[in-house]
Structure 1
Amino acid sequence: MVKMLIKEIIPINHTDKLLFYLAPFFVIVASFLTFGAIPFGNGLQAFDFNIGVFYLLAVSSLGVIGILMAGWASNNKYSMIGAMRSGAQLVSYELSAGLSLLTMVVLSGDLQLSTIIEKQSDTWFIFQGHLPAVVAFVIYLIAGHAETNRGPFDLPEAESELTAGYHTEYSGLQFGMFYLAEYLNMFIIASIATTVFLGGWMPFHIGGWDGFNHVMDYIPSVIWFFGKAFALMFLSLWVRWTFPRLRIDQLLHLEWKYLLPINMVNILLMVGIVLLGWYF
């Protein structure tokens, strides 16, 4: 990132200047707005909305507007195709990510992130909600991975097809802002998964193991949160290193034919579990 800060921004004559220069800022601001609502530790949260989950979903979906602006304003066929791919990908997988989070909202009975974490003080939601919680967790990780354009879902910037996708005409700091937003979004996805599924900054407890639980309580809440988030980020990197890139039709079929129907059935199962009181 430091190297990109000192590189020259090469002016392009055939672009829509206003949208071209505005797009990187739009993408990076959308990422930074999300950080304020994430509780990084006990009391380490800038603002705590009573509709925190909806706020995260709303703000995290703003980045696609900046990407479409970049593709359109670049006046380049590769940039436009990459932006259209990214738009289709983000809109599609945002549905599965949202439904996965709503599945856990059904379990918690609250949209406020601090309350969701407090309800996981004894047992994390991924263990409380039986199979539907595990399914929601896996689907959220897949959808989040696709939203951050990480391999094997990095179709918007496929080098062999689109040179660099919607980044093609950008250079210097502007190019770096897109990549910074991508890695920030990767951490945001891991942080949201940590908050909603893995207890946030709550330590790991085992029922009846009082000595073990007391030792876990001595570990600072910030270390718990970042430890879980970085573990999920490593999982994301491992998936990128392991699997080959999908085609665009395979990418969309995975979402609309499999993940979305499974998610809709899963949320109904969670409603049944909560109504019957079968959760731990």
Structure 2
Amino acid sequence: MFGVLAERKISGWIQSRLGPKHVGPQGLLQTVADTVKLLQKEHVTPVNADPVAFNVAPLIVPVAALLAWIVIPLGVPFGVLLIGRDLNIGLLFFVAMTSLIVIGVLLGGWASNNKYSLLGALRSASQMISYEIPLALALLTPIMLAGTLSTVEIVDAQRGGFLGVGRWFLFGGGHGLGGLVVGVLAFAIFVAAATAETFRTPFDLPEAESELVAGYFSEYTGMRFALFQLGEYGELFAMAALSSLLFLGGWHGPGFTSTLWLFVKLFAMVFFLMWVRWTYPRLRLDQLLNFTWKGLLPLALLNVLLTGWVLV
């Protein structure tokens, strides 16, 4: 609910309008009111839809997005590590869980028996598969610099350095100018791919209102619609948290180590992704696919080679 409210406030600020302001002080309870409204909406299943798949699809998306949070550490307040499970293959688990989202999207679009929903689902599948590759390749840079797939160990590898930020992998993790180049490139590739993975503008073709009504969830109402939104924002915050952990030092920062640093970085990344959404226009489908296959993918492969050269 916080993500929806923040997005509406930020979009209002960017577009020089007030945004929600009537429900609660400064509109802070608007999302609560929207949730109550959705809870009262009728669950409509189209006559020709597959009822089982139609009802299961909205569950897959948020569950997959929330499972990705299992391996995301939120700091060590009072010496206690806040994490669901510190896996030695944490990043692999994260990529696997976020990849499952496309199954729910495809299932929902197909089961709706609606041409707009199906077209939106097919677009989302092609987009997620295309951008999953450069995203995974971008993750190889912090993996190679830290020598581990564990999210906790990657954060620990960024402790210390000049002003407390010198060993952040965004700045090369202490590997000089070469490390700085590969760190900045990997971060830029990851942010671009994460934006596409979460269907944010300018990569929101699966939900293009002017072409596809509402995309793959056009036929969904009430809380089933809300579950798709929950999955979308769950993945958005997960991607923002992961970028903060892998490239921005996690809970390490100038002066002191605190969970507060992680949340400052996380919300800064969320703000940036929302700012991009409300600033740039939507790409065409051919531009979107050309950008990844002819731009991001070769650049990501080159960056992996450069990272290996820096570490030699």
When normalised by structure 2's length, the TM-score is 0.82
Q: Is it true that 1:136 corresponds to 2:197 in the alignment?
A: no
Report if aligned partners of 2:69, 2:238 keep a CA contact under 8 Å in 1. Answer: yes
- Among 226, 237, 250, the alignment partner of 2:287 is 250
- Report the Cα distance in structure 1 between the residues aligned to 2:130 and 2:99, rounded to whole angstroms: 11
Q: Is it true that 1:261 corresponds to 2:298 in the alignment?
A: yes
Q: Is it true that 1:49 corresponds to 2:87 in the alignment?
A: yes
Q: Which has the higher contact order (CA 8 A, sep 6+)?
A: 1
Q: Which amino acid aligns with 1:119?
A: A
1:33 aligns with: 67
- Report the Cα distance in structure 1 between the residues aligned to 2:222 and 2:141, rounded to whole angstroms: 41
1:158 aligns with: 208
Mind listing any 5+ residue stretches in structure 1 that lack a counterpart? 205-212, 276-280
Report if aligned partners of 1:20, 1:73 keep a CA contact under 8 Å in 2. Answer: yes
SS in 1 for 2:45: coil
- Among 95, 98, 105, the alignment partner of 1:67 is 105
1:208 aligns with: none
Mind listing any 5+ residue stretches in structure 2 that lack a counterpart? 1-33, 161-166, 174-178
1:125 aligns with: 169
- Report the Cα distance in structure 1 between the residues aligned to 2:39 and 2:201, rounded to whole angstroms: 26
- Among 234, 242, 248, the alignment partner of 1:192 is 242
SS in 1 for 2:71: coil
1:102 aligns with: 140
Structure 1 residue 35: deviation in Å? 1.0
Report if aligned partners of 1:186, 1:233 keep a CA contact under 8 Å in 2. Answer: yes
Report if aligned partners of 1:12, 1:169 keep a CA contact under 8 Å in 2. Answer: yes
- Report the Cα distance in structure 1 between the residues aligned to 2:232 and 2:42, rounded to whole angstroms: 21
Q: Which amino acid aligns with 1:125?
A: F
Structure 1 residue 5: deviation in Å? 2.3
Report if aligned partners of 1:5, 1:176 keep a CA contact under 8 Å in 2. Answer: no
SS in 2 for 1:242: coil
- Report the Cα distance in structure 2 between the residues aligned to 1:71 and 1:62, rounded to whole angstroms: 15
Report if aligned partners of 1:190, 1:233 keep a CA contact under 8 Å in 2. Answer: yes
Q: Which 4+ stretches in 1 moved above 6 angstroms?
A: none
2:217 aligns with: 167
1:166-222 Cα distance to aligned partner (Å, 9 max, x none): 111100000011111111111011011011111111123xxxxxxxx3xx34xxx22
Q: Which amino acid aligns with 1:14?
A: N
Report if aligned partners of 2:189, 2:296 keep a CA contact under 8 Å in 1. Answer: yes
- Among 172, 175, 183, the alignment partner of 2:233 is 183
- CA RMSD after TM alignment: 1.0
- Report the Cα distance in structure 1 between the residues aligned to 2:233 and 2:62, rounded to whole angstroms: 10
1:149 aligns with: 199
Structure 1 residue 6: deviation in Å? 2.4
SS in 2 for 1:93: helix
Q: Which amino acid aligns with 2:231?
A: A
- Report the Cα distance in structure 2 between the residues aligned to 1:246 and 1:105, rounded to whole angstroms: 31
